[in-house]
């Protein structure tokens, strides 16, 4: 009777096997959860715990579906914003903080809440991967644009610098080459169609000045209309090689220019009529000047505007004046005496033009024409 009274108004569960019998054991959180005793639960105990949980209504609760979806949206939005504005290291700090917050929510109430910790962190990882992939694609595109519109030497120089680091402004010995088309103004008047003008100029640059970069490793200073300017920084251990390299570049550039001018009529037979081709062929020509000296090298431009890396100084000014003198002398290339002495030592033909006071300078400069030995002018 005593046993019956104990069971009155109660559900009694009997286990007819031994507690360690594997035929009646259940895998529960006590078996595989973190910090659990790693034990199987007897079937009778499992049923008793389940009934008790139902009666006490203290089982873990899941947030409503709309709450989960709202949480996922907030996580994704916060992750995208964080990834867009913060560095990668801070993004992962945000992810760790998010994980800890989700875990903390599970224990916020006396009754355990089953917040979507794993799913929420998966949303964070997915949003992070999407933003990182997008930034990678944009960065790749920007890199392609930079390599297309920025000289490769300057690109590698700037890309090696730390973020927010300004390029050093220094005085540097340089060799400067400048070339300008003769008759360019007349050509722009003849070719009124912008597409035709750009096609002609791009073909000209592709056939001529491209070798200054690809073959002679010159640094592009600028294109200004028909004018092209390259320079070579001079180091102490390779000064003679740099001077020779620039002089050889000028010779080959001149040869390519004359070759291009001689074939204009053949190149553009289908694009232009015979009269236009004849006017272009009779007008177009080019001059080249090479100069050396100390120049200021560094950043140029407003702090919050578009900046340019290049050179400033007397070598640029003088080489521009020298190039203009090719219209007055029977030569395509003009160099100063310092480079003429080097040209002679490396077997390049030179011819003295005279002591000339160029525009903008008080002191006269000894100038020389430069060419090949098989040229009758030398």
Residue 260 confidence (pLDDT) above 80: yes
Segment 206-215, tens digit of pLDDT: 999 889 998 9
Segment 164-216, tens digit of pLDDT: 665 668 899 999 999 998 888 788 888 878 888 888 888 999 999 889 998 99
Classified as helix, coil or strand, 167 is coil
**pLDDT of 234:** 93
The residue-averaged pLDDT of 319-348 equals: 93
Q: What share of the chain is helix, strand, coil (3-state, %, to 5)?
A: 50, 20, 30
Supply the DSSP string of 143-154, one letter for each residue.
HHHHHHHS-HHH
**Better-predicted residue by pLDDT, 34 or 123:** 123
Residue 367 confidence (pLDDT) above 90: yes
Taking the C-alpha atoms of residue 77 and residue 131, their distance in angstroms, rounded to an integer, is 11
**pLDDT of 1:** 62
From first CA to last CA, the distance across the chain in angstroms is 135
Query: CA separation (Å) from 216 to 111, 161, 228, 256?
Result: 76, 25, 15, 14
Torsion of CA 197, 202, 204, 210, to 10 degrees: 160
Segment 211-241, tens digit of pLDDT: 999 899 999 998 888 899 999 999 888 899 9
Residue 82 has φ and ψ, to the nearest 5°, of -65, -45
**pLDDT of 130:** 84
Place of tokens 């640029």: 316
The residue-averaged pLDDT of 55-60 equals: 71
Which element (helix H / strand E) includes 180? strand 170-182
Segment 11-51, tens digit of pLDDT: 777 777 776 676 777 777 666 666 677 777 777 777 777 77
**pLDDT of 247:** 96
Structure tokens at 226: 């028909």
> Percent of the chain scored above 70 by pLDDT?
92
**pLDDT of 251:** 96
**pLDDT of 174:** 95
The residue-averaged pLDDT of 135-155 equals: 82
How is residue 225 annotated by DSSP?
Answer: T
Which element (helix H / strand E) includes 309? strand 308-312
Which element (helix H / strand E) includes 136? helix 117-149
Residue 10 CB neighbours (<10 A): 7
The residue-averaged pLDDT of 97-112 equals: 75
**pLDDT of 332:** 95
Mark 278-295 as b/e (b = at least 16 C-beta within 10 Å).
ebbeebbbbbbbbbbbeb
Supply the DSSP string of 310-359, one letter for each residue.
EEESHHHHHHHHHHHGGGTTT-SEEEEHHHHHHHHHTT-EEEEEEEE--T
Average pLDDT, whole number, for the chain?
84
Band of residue 125 on the pLDDT scale cut at 50, 70, 90 = confident
Domains in the chain, ordered, with CATH? 2-56 (no CATH), 65-149 (no CATH), 168-371 (3.30.70.1230)
Place of tokens 């895998």: 27
Q: Are 343 and 254 in contact (CB under 8 A)?
A: no
Q: What residues does 42 pair with on adjacent strands?
A: 25
**pLDDT of 22:** 67
> Percent of the chain scored above 90 by pLDDT?
27
The residue-averaged pLDDT of 143-159 equals: 79
Per mean pLDDT, which range of 127-131, 189-193, 332-336 is the poorest?
Answer: 189-193
Indicate the angle between helix axes 337-345 and 239-262, nearest 10 degrees: 90
Segment 277-331, tens digit of pLDDT: 888 888 888 999 999 999 998 888 887 888 888 899 999 999 999 999 998 998 9
Residue 210 CB neighbours (<10 A): 12
**Better-predicted residue by pLDDT, 240 or 4:** 240
**pLDDT of 344:** 94
Q: Which residues contact 213 (CB under 8 A, 6 or more apart)?
A: 151, 152, 220, 230
**Taking phi first (over 0 means left), then psi (-120 to 50 degrees means alpha), and beta for anything else, what does residue 165 get?**
beta
**Better-predicted residue by pLDDT, 83 or 378:** 378
Pairing of strands 349-356, 308-312: unpaired
Indicate whether this model's pTM tops 0.85.
no
């Amino acid at each position: 009777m005593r046993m019956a009274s104990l069971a009155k108004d109660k559900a009694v569960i009997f286990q007819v096997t031994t507690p360690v019998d594997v035929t009646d054991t259940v895998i529960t959180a006590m078996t595989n959860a973190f910090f659990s005793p790693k034990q199987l639960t007897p079937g009778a105990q499992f049923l008793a715990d389940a009934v008790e949980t139902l009666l006490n209504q203290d089982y873990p609760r899941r947030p409503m579906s709309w709450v989960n979806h709202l949480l996922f949206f907030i996580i994704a939005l916060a992750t995208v914003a964080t990834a867009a504005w913060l560095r990668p290291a801070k993004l992962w700090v945000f992810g760790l903080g998010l994980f800890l917050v989700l875990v903390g929510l599970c224990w916020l109430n006396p009754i355990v809440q089953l917040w979507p910790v794993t799913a929420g962190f998966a949303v964070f990882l997915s949003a992070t991967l999407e933003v990182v992939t997008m930034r990678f694609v944009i960065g790749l595109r920007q890199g392609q644009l930079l390599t297309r519109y920025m000289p490769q030497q300057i690109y590698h120089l700037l890309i090696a610098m730390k973020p927010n680091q300004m390029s050093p402004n220094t005085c540097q010995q340089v060799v400067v080459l400048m070339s300008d088309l003769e008759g360019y103004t007349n050509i722009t008047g003849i070719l009124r169609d912008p597409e035709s003008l750009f096609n002609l100029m791009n073909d000209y640059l592709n056939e001529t000045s491209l070798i200054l970069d690809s073959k002679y490793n010159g640094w592009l200073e600028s294109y200004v209309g028909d004018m092209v300017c390259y320079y070579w920084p001079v180091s102490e251990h390779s000064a003679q090689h740099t001077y020779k390299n620039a002089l050889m570049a000028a010779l080959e550039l001149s040869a390519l220019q004359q070759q291009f001018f001689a074939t204009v009529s053949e190149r553009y037979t289908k694009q232009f009529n015979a009269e236009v081709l004849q006017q272009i062929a009779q007008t177009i020509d080019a001059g080249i000047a090479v100069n050396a000296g100390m120049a200021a090298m560094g950043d140029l431009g407003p702090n919050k505007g578009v900046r340019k890396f290049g050179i400033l100084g007397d070598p640029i000014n003088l080489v521009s004046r020298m190039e203009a003198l090719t219209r007055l002398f029977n030569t395509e290339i003009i160099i100063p005496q310092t480079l003429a002495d080097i040209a002679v030592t490396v077997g390049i033909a030179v011819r003295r033009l005279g002591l000339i006071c160029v525009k903008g300078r008080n002191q006269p400069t000894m100038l020389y024409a430069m060419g090949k030995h098989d040229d009758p002018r030398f």
